[in-house]
């Protein structure tokens, strides 16, 4: 059985991320040896060398350059002896060919999760303002061709967000309220937890893990 729950976020009332969980998915990687000139078009996107045009033979759009000739690329920087060179410039030089490039599928880094959380926080607020009828909440469900996002905002303004695959029919309502319950039990009642700060508690991690397994098995119907 494939797992449908992909991400889980808890966003505090100011819009910053205080907890996140991600399903372990192995990211596909492709290694290819190129002759001059390279036939995929790369550009720097979010400090990575990303394929923007010319996908073929397993190298897809949005894949990023992970290593060149076995040397790991950090951001767009590639270590060459004592020097650090820009990987995009390196791949423009004919002298460096043939070159073996390893591409990896895109992932959501911790930094990006923080950005996404504050983005969602503002989208949520705008959705309230744009409502054509009174007393609207913010975004509760967002559906795209690839995933479904469910959000529960507590009375105190904390948002619980669950992202499932588009194919899933998990009813996230009870899952979200159960998450809220775990948050109050394991974060708020923890004497060492200060409010609005990231949640670092082993008990909470474990409880979330158990909850997600249960939800996955029962299609989201979590009984109290």
- For position 169 contacting another protein by CB under 8 A, the verdict is no
Task: Select the span of 29-37, 88-96, 145-153, 170-178 touching another protein (CB under 8 A).
Answer: 145-153
Task: Select the span of 123-131, 175-183, 199-207, 216-224 touching another protein (CB under 8 A).
Answer: 123-131
Least Å from the CB of residue 131 to another protein: 6
Q: What is the CA radius of gyration of the chain?
A: 21
Least Å from the CB of residue 221 to another protein: 20
Please give the structure tokens belonging to residue 135. Answer: 């007393």
- For position 143 contacting another protein by CB under 8 A, the verdict is yes
Question: In the beta sheet, which residues pair with residue 33?
Answer: 100
3-state secondary structure string, 148-170? EEEEEECCCCCEEEEEEECCCCC
User: C-alpha distances in angstroms, 203 versus 18, 175, 207, 209?
Assistant: 16, 18, 6, 10
Task: Select the span of 35-43, 71-79, 111-119, 180-188 touching another protein (CB under 8 A).
Answer: 111-119
Q: How far apart are CA 171 and CA 218, in angstroms?
A: 10
Least Å from the CB of residue 9 to another protein: 10
Q: With H, G, I as helix, E, B as strand and everything else as coil, classify residue 135.
A: coil
- For position 23 contacting another protein by CB under 8 A, the verdict is no
- For position 61 contacting another protein by CB under 8 A, the verdict is yes
């Amino acid at each position: 059985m494939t797992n449908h729950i992909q991400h889980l976020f808890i966003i505090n009332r100011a819009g910053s991320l205080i907890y996140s969980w991600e399903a372990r998915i192995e990211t596909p990687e492709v290694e290819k040896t190129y002759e001059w000139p390279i036939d995929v078009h790369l550009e720097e996107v979010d400090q990575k060398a990303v394929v923007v045009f010319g996908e073929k033979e397993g190298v897809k759009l949005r894949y990023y350059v992970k290593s060149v000739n076995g040397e790991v690329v950090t951001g767009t920087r590639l270590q060459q002896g004592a020097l650090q060179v820009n990987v995009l410039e390196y791949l423009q030089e004919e002298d460096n060919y043939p070159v073996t490039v390893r591409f990896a599928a895109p992932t959501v880094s911790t930094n990006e999760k923080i950005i996404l959380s504050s983005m969602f926080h503002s989208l949520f607020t705008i959705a309230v303002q744009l409502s054509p009828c009174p007393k609207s909440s913010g975004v509760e469900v967002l559906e795209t061709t690839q995933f479904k996002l469910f959000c529960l905002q507590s009375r105190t303004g904390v948002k619980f967000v669950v992202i499932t695959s588009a194919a899933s029919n998990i009813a996230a309502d009870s899952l979200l309220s159960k998450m809220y319950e775990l948050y109050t039990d394991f974060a708020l009642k923890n004497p060492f937890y200060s409010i609005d700060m990231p949640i670092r508690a082993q008990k909470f991690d474990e409880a979330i893990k158990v909850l997600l397994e249960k939800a996955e098995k029962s299609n989201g119907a979590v009984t109290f």
